[in-house]
Chain A
Amino acid sequence: MKILILIGNVPDTTTKVKFNADRTAFDASGVQWIINPWDELALTRAMELKETSGGAVEAVVVANVGRAETEATLRKALAIGADKAIRIDADPKEAGYVASQLATIAAGYDLIMAGIEAADYNGNAVGGMLAEMLGMNSVSAVSGIQIENGQLKINREIDGGSQVVGLPMPLVAIVQKGIAKEPRIPAMRGIMMARSKPLEVVQPIDAAPMTNMVTFEMPPAKAACKMIAEDQAKDLIHLLRDEAKVL
Chain B
Amino acid sequence: MSASAAYIAPDHFLVDELFSEEQKIVRGSIRDWVTRKVKPVIEDHYERAKFPDYLIREMGELGIFGPFIPVEYGGSGLDYISYGLIMQELERGDSGVRSMASVQTSLVMYPIHAFGSEEQRRKYLPKLATGEMIGCFGLTEPNHGSDPGSMVTRFKDMGDHYLLNGAKMWITNSTVADVAVVWAKDEQNVVRGLIVEKGMPGFTAPETHGKWSLRASVTGELVFDNVKVPKENMLPNVKGLKGPLSCLNSARYGIAWGVIGAAMDCYDSALRYALERQQFGKPIAAFQLQQKKLAEALTEITKAQLLAWRLGVLKNEGKVTAAQISMAKRNNVEIALDIARNMRQVLGAMGITNDFPMMRHMMNLESVITYEGTHDVHLLITGNELTGIPAFK
Contact = CB atoms under 8 A, between A and B. Distances in A.
A202 interface: no
B21 A75 contact: yes
Given A14-B6, A191-B78, A192-B71, A186 B29 contact: yes
B63 A188 contact: yes
B21 A187 contact: no
A105 to B, nearest CB: 23
Contacts, number: 54
Interface in B6-43: 6, 8, 21-22, 24-26, 28-29, 32-33, 36
B21 A188 contact: no
A27 interface: no
B61 interface: yes
B29 A195 contact: no
B374 interface: no
B21 A72 contact: yes
A91 interface: no
Main secondary structure of the interface of B (DSSP, over half): helix
B25 A192 contact: no
A186 B26 CA distance: 8
A79 interface: yes
Query: Interface residues of B toward A: which range?
Result: 20 to 34
A191 B33 contact: no
A71 interface: yes
B62 interface: yes
Contacts of B28: 76
Contacts of B32: 185
B64 interface: yes
Nearest to B23: A191
A72 B24 contact: yes
Nearest to A34: B28
B125 to A, nearest CB: 14
Interface string A162-197: 000000000000000000001001111101101100
Interface string B233-267: 00000000000000000000000000000000000
B345 interface: no
Q: From DSSP, what is the main secondary structure of chain A's interface residues?
A: helix
A191 B76 contact: yes
A78 B32 CA distance: 17
Contacts of A182: 36
B128 to A, nearest CB: 14
Contacts of B76: 187-189, 191-192
A206 B25 CA distance: 33
Given A191-B76, A192-B78, A186 B21 contact: no
Interface string A62-89: 0000000001100110010000000000
B29 A185 contact: yes
B84 to A, nearest CB: 13
Contact of A187 (B6, B36, B63, B71): B63
Interface in A76-116: 76, 79
B25 A75 contact: yes
A191 B29 contact: yes
Given A71-B21, A182-B36, A191 B71 contact: no
19 contacts: A14-B6, A14-B8, A72-B21, A75-B25, A76-B28, A79-B29, A185-B32, A185-B36, A187-B29, A187-B61, A188-B64, A188-B82, A189-B63, A189-B71, A189-B76, A191-B22, A191-B63, A191-B78, A192-B71
Given A14-B6, A187-B29, A194-B25, 8 more contacts: A72-B24, A182-B36, A185-B62, A186-B25, A186-B29, A188-B64, A188-B82, A189-B76
